[in-house]
Structure 1
Amino acid sequence: MDDQLYQADPHIVATWAKGWAIAREVSPPVPDGGAFRIEVGLPDHVRRYIFSAATTAVRQIADTISDPYIFLKVCAPPDVVSRLLPPGWVIQPQAYMMTCFGAMAPVNTALQEGYVLDISEDIPVPIVRILTTQGEVAAIGRIAFVGDYAIYDRIETHESHRRRKLGSVIMKTLEAVGAARGINKGLLVATREGRALYETLGWRLHSLYTTAEIPGPVLPG
């Protein structure tokens, strides 16, 4: 059995959950029935449960949920997670929990003409932005710290500014923020597209990260 497919290190998952909650400024995770429960409190994201493996605990918690906007996050393949779910649950696009223990690969962080780097470092969750000279946010990322780990979160490049290596600049700048605090172990969860970028920077797959939900109506805004 490939551990990267079917389970994750519980310590890594616990650290990720704590860092995610810090980065999103929500309540810290609480152990609950074999998962880490986070009360997010948004209309379209009420709560999430994070599991380090696909066990019967997934089914036990899923059986207690009938409302939408509550998410199950499981470190396992989607087909394995699906078999544990009652009817009505839907699997979202695949994501990937990744790690980088040590320095990322070197890249050219010089920005193309028309962009400027903006770093907000002296705040609980440092933010790095790349702005256009007109003040538009072209790319952004955040970093939270849990012990000796840095949790990278919400790394985004606006669609009209992609393929200009802005994501690499965001990641390397966030890395420098962590290194200034003596932290060089990184965690993140990537989309399929994001995984390709992070692997070029030296990140490695830790586990698959499958999300399930009961679909609800699209809320305004």
Structure 2
Amino acid sequence: MEPKGSHDIVEQWLKAWSLSRKLPLPIRHYSGFKVEVGEEKQKIRYVFSEINNDFIELSNQIDEPWIYLKVCASPDEVTKVVSEKWILQPPGYMMFCFGPMKNAVTNICQGYRIESEEYNSTTVVKITTKSGEQASIGRIVLIDDLAVYDRILTEENHRKKGLASFLMQELEKIALSKGISKNFLVATEQGKMLYQSMGWKLYSNYTSIVIPGI
């Protein structure tokens, strides 16, 4: 795997993130990347593979709310170089796994079924109840030799049934069918524990900051 904060892997991941969300592809912004998100509480995101002068200068220039700065660094490293106008967001963790994943769940829990759809190089896999209620959902985007897993979610009343593990392995099958075994994602604190149990490893801390609006 490339060194932590590799510029190329961050670019691949961000391109996949944008495709998954049907957003414009990232454009280069000095040594980082810019995505026009266009949401009320996330207008733009700038992503950097490391803390550098470009990141620090941009943090000084921006005063508008709901523009996110994101970087492969720890929260402590970020707070040392930005002003107090910026508010830390919940921590993220870039993670990687060279398949196969561990702790295989080969059978879906009784009473559930799988469905899928495709768009923008993205495959969505959804686990529903027999009545059609969504229980778990996730996406995989294939970018060159990298499989990016995105927005993995299990609804609270369907947890602890192995659905998330089963879903991840269904997504992995899609990557392997295309000869791709390099897997990458950004996890929340909660999700990190699941992925570690399946053999994923930490690639880099991923810290987000924003100036909140009123």
Counterpart position of 2:62: 65
Counterpart position of 1:114: 111
Counterpart position of 1:22: 19
- Letter matched to residue 179 of structure 1: L
Taking the aligned partners of 2:119 and 2:22, their CA distance within structure 1 comes to 16
Counterpart position of 1:180: 177
- Displacement, 1:33? 2.3
State whether structure 2 residue 155 is matched by structure 1 residue 158. yes
- Letter matched to residue 120 of structure 1: E
Q: Cα 1:119–1:100, aligned 2, differ >3 Å: closer, same or farther?
A: same
State whether structure 2 residue 40 is matched by structure 1 residue 32. no
State whether structure 2 residue 16 is matched by structure 1 residue 9. no
- Displacement, 1:50? 0.8
Amino-acid identity (%): 39
Taking the aligned partners of 2:156 and 2:213, their CA distance within structure 1 comes to 26
Taking the aligned partners of 1:68 and 1:139, their CA distance within structure 2 comes to 33
Q: Cα 1:182–1:121, aligned 2, differ >3 Å: closer, same or farther?
A: farther
Counterpart position of 1:132: 129
- Letter matched to residue 204 of structure 2: S
Q: Cα 1:57–1:162, aligned 2, differ >3 Å: closer, same or farther?
A: same
Taking the aligned partners of 2:100 and 2:108, their CA distance within structure 1 comes to 21
* Match for residue 143 of structure 2 among 143, 146, 164: 146
State whether structure 2 residue 102 is matched by structure 1 residue 101. no
Partner of 1:126, secondary structure, is strand
Counterpart position of 1:196: 193
Structure 1 residue runs of 5 or longer lacking an equivalent are none
- Letter matched to residue 141 of structure 1: G
Partner of 1:38, secondary structure, is strand
RMSD: 1.7
Residue pair 2:146, 2:181 contacting (<8 A) in 1 also: yes
Structure 2 residue runs of 5 or longer lacking an equivalent are none
Taking the aligned partners of 2:105 and 2:18, their CA distance within structure 1 comes to 31
Taking the aligned partners of 1:183 and 1:153, their CA distance within structure 2 comes to 16
- Letter matched to residue 22 of structure 1: L
- Displacement, 1:121? 4.8
- Displacement, 1:123? 6.5
* Match for residue 165 of structure 2 among 164, 168, 172: 168
* Match for residue 212 of structure 1 among 197, 203, 209: 209
